[in-house]
Structure 1
Amino acid sequence: MNKSRVRERIQKMNTYNSGEFSRSTCEIITNPTQMAELEAEWNDLWLKAKGSFYQSFSVAYHSWKEIAEPAGRSLFCIVIRDKGAMVLVFPMVRYRKGPLLMIRPLGPNAAETTDMLVDPDVDWQAMVTQAWQTIDRASKADIIHMPFIKVGSTLDQLIQHSRNIERDADIAPFANLQDQTDWATYEKIIGANSRQQLNRKRKRLSELGDFEFVEIDPVAEPQHALQLIEWMFAHKQVWADRVGKHGDWITSQGYRNFLYRWITDPRNIQRMRLYTIQIDKMPIAMKVAAYGVSHLDLIIAGFHSDPQYAKYSPGFVLDEFWMKIVFEKHLNVDFGAGNEPYKLFWSRNFKNDLANYHIPHTIAGATATHLWRLKRRVTTHLAERRKRHAAPMPA
């Protein structure tokens, strides 16, 4: 849908339920108990819409219980119904950041994509527009944070139309495997050199001990899943210290609690799996994945921090094992936000462009956003100067 059509649609809508919204009702749920009562309807809508992991009830529920509620955030969950049936749900949270009131999607806040869960049989653009207008008018936030939105989507166009704002770019590699007929053909597309390199790495790892691929159902083996999660975060911390990257979620106990309780929840509509390769029963690479109706979402990955394993790219080797499983199920793979080489390799460089938005909604929000961007530009400029000065002079 182009921007002119979005503009025309917005201009027609002066109230929440006017025009083509006359049959629909929009509700803002602020009581977590009421949100929990939506589980059955939410699950039905998720299945019908072939939703992604971040749109599921289980992710919203455990994000609230393990992260948002302990942090003192308040719920702001938008539900739109058409003739009584749920046709859109979009959970968000409001919170204070210093003197500012912020609002953002409810989730684990670990670089997941943002999108509303919408019934595919209704007017998608109308429903998303109604939900966005509700956020815009009723949130009372100083800043609306909308991370990792697909560029060109209805939500992206609405944000661009309503505000003349900057956006930070990112990508989400996506492997379309449903158009492939057999694994051998897919390997040929990947390329002979890459296959040879992968075979060499797998052979070198297998020479280090008893090498095996292991698939774990965390619902059936919750204690094993907990041990693997603790192992993964321990090695992620070593990696973060070594490269100087310290994302909040790496050290967040709330995020660890969320991940464990989410993947081991027997009521979870998604089928979760932990994939590992081990040497002498010791994990050297691990990936957490969530199965949906049409695709698999890669959630998080971890690798052994010892250089003797890292030099053989154990995560890359692990990918071949679980990618074959997904391939045989005729599913696609969403690798999530990030331009890591392994994601682009397996997706054959196919990707969705993403945009991160901090949308000022008040004068205080606009001032804070301007100062934040100015500080970031200055920090980037100083880092580049230090890098240039540290570079050796040409001979």
Structure 2
Amino acid sequence: MSDGQTRLEVVSDEQGFIALEREWNALWLKAHGRYFQRFDVCLLAWRHVARPQNRKLHCIVLRERGELRLVWPLVSWRRIFWTYLLPLSPDAADYTSMLVEDGPDAAARIESAWRAACARCKADFVHLPYMNEGSELHRVALREPRVLGLSRHESWVAKLRGETDWNTYCRSLGTMHGKKPGQLERRLAKEGQLSIRLVDPSDAEGIAQCVRAMLAWKRQWAERTGKKGVWLFSPYYQDFLIATLTHRSDGPDTQSLARMTVVTLDARPIAAVIMSHGNPLANAVIGSFDPAYGKFGAGAIAWEHAVKWALEHGYDIDFGVGSERFKTYWGRGNRSHAWTMQIANTAWGLVGYRTVRAFRDMYAWLKGAMRASNGTATHADDANDAAGSLEHRGK
């Protein structure tokens, strides 16, 4: 797309991607971009998650009169006979959105970038996790004729920027697990030497140990709740978190990309939270706790200190999707919704989807019949796993 004043291109090589850094940083500040839209975060996601898995880069770039107005980093990968297009991310629970300068032309820019992604990235399926409800991208995607799947998720934001001080804010809250802020911490302090601190970004070894512990605790939580995600078991995601916490930015500011709050008891980590810096909206990245200290609310204590840190730095907090108690508590009713969507972008993709649905229906019938005759379905299970990975992008 080029009309003399507007130019749209798809950057598909790493050097071209890196060359965008200065312009990208300027746009991120101007557009009040989110944590997951930062150039540094996207570059780390590319180097630690997407590139090691042999995904292809497709970064949509739109300029007007030579100035960068929109950037949307995407990647594609091939699964069986089909190609998927999805946002460049660490494959966790990040939102899908374009980094675009606000204004009367923003909607047209988003429409142009969407059309370019669909037409030029050669994907059979487009997967869009967690689009903010009512956003322009959400509206554009809903107009597609071949939407295959939709799911709605709750999300929560803590509005902290209007608060005068921590104590006043706490008095406005009710209780969580029957306790006001500070009470859980005082109870846990009776069990030993309690410490709550921000980990220094230069402590690479300590950060790596805490990240590994966090993910191990989170996997235990996932087993208990049934909320499993591939990212929890991914060495790529672990590497991404460590890199994010130890990275020093030369971009919009000199702060680290995110900070880790760690709760220790007798020098042993029992809970931790990772939260991004804000612009001015911070993102809750991940938090978990040792289940042995669940009854003491170790995880809630870590979140309490993370929220206090954000309030003192003038940040609101987006807790992301999910309705865990701590999100609804600190969010104080500030709920919105996000949508995950999968779209068939080609006729071949639609054929694949229909084939998978037919296969799954046949498999369900076959499995029922085999159970009725006390048989086994080992080979059918393997085939169904392959079909499921096609339909659900391997999640």
What secondary structure sits across from 1:336 in the alignment?
Answer: strand
Does the CA-based 8 Å contact 2:278-2:316 persist in structure 1? no
In the TM superposition, what is the alpha-carbon distance from 1:216 to its structure 2 partner?
1.4
Report the Cα distance in structure 1 between the residues aligned to 2:276 and 2:200, rounded to whole angstroms: 11
Structure 1 segments (4+ residues) deviating >6 Å: none
What secondary structure sits across from 1:171 in the alignment?
Answer: strand
In the TM superposition, what is the alpha-carbon distance from 1:192 to its structure 2 partner?
5.7
Does the CA-based 8 Å contact 1:146-1:356 persist in structure 2? yes
In the TM superposition, what is the alpha-carbon distance from 1:49 to its structure 2 partner?
1.3
1:213 aligns with 2:196: yes
| Residue 232 to residue 198, structure 1, CA distance change in 2 (3 Å) | same
CA-to-aligned-CA distance 1:261-315 (integer Å, 9 cap, x gap): 1221123645321101111111111011110221211111121122xx1112211
Q: Normalising by the residue count of structure 1, what TM-score does the alignment of the two structures yield?
A: 0.84
Does the CA-based 8 Å contact 2:160-2:311 persist in structure 1? yes
In the TM superposition, what is the alpha-carbon distance from 1:134 to its structure 2 partner?
0.6
2:281 corresponds to which of 271, 295, 298? 295
What secondary structure sits across from 2:162 in the alignment?
Answer: coil
2:317 corresponds to which of 295, 320, 333? 333
Question: Structure 2 unaligned runs (5+)?
Answer: 368-395
What secondary structure sits across from 1:266 in the alignment?
Answer: coil
1:49 corresponds to which of 6, 16, 31? 31
Does the CA-based 8 Å contact 2:170-2:181 persist in structure 1? no
1:357 aligns with 2:341: yes
Q: Normalising by the residue count of structure 2, what TM-score does the alignment of the two structures yield?
A: 0.84
The residue aligned with 1:276 is 262
What secondary structure sits across from 1:299 in the alignment?
Answer: strand
In the TM superposition, what is the alpha-carbon distance from 1:50 to its structure 2 partner?
1.4
> Residues 313-328 of structure 1: matches in 2 within 5 Å?
313-328=297-312
Q: Which amino acid aligns with 1:294?
A: P
| Residue 198 to residue 127, structure 1, CA distance change in 2 (3 Å) | same
The residue aligned with 2:81 is 99
In the TM superposition, what is the alpha-carbon distance from 1:200 to its structure 2 partner?
4.0
Q: Which amino acid aligns with 2:97?
A: D
Does the CA-based 8 Å contact 1:87-1:122 persist in structure 2? no
Report the Cα distance in structure 1 between the residues aligned to 2:295 and 2:355, rounded to whole angstroms: 42
In the TM superposition, what is the alpha-carbon distance from 1:135 to its structure 2 partner?
1.1
1:229 aligns with 2:211: yes
The residue aligned with 2:376 is none
In the TM superposition, what is the alpha-carbon distance from 1:351 to its structure 2 partner?
2.2
The residue aligned with 2:114 is 132
Does the CA-based 8 Å contact 1:205-1:312 persist in structure 2? yes
Report the Cα distance in structure 1 between the residues aligned to 2:306 and 2:294, rounded to whole angstroms: 19
Q: Which amino acid aligns with 1:184?
A: N
> Residues 1-395 of structure 1: matches in 2 within 5 Å?
16-17=1-2, 23-120=5-102, 123-163=105-145, 165=147, 166-191=149-174, 196-218=179-201, 220-267=202-249, 269=251, 271=256, 272-306=258-292, 309-370=293-354, 375=360
Report the Cα distance in structure 2 between the residues aligned to 1:163 and 1:17, rounded to whole angstroms: 27
Does the CA-based 8 Å contact 1:262-1:268 persist in structure 2? no
* Stretch moving more, 43-52 or 76-85: 43-52
Report the Cα distance in structure 1 between the residues aligned to 2:195 and 2:354, rounded to whole angstroms: 52
In the TM superposition, what is the alpha-carbon distance from 1:44 to its structure 2 partner?
1.4
What secondary structure sits across from 1:349 in the alignment?
Answer: coil
Does the CA-based 8 Å contact 1:198-1:316 persist in structure 2? no
Question: Structure 1 unaligned runs (5+)?
Answer: 1-15, 383-395
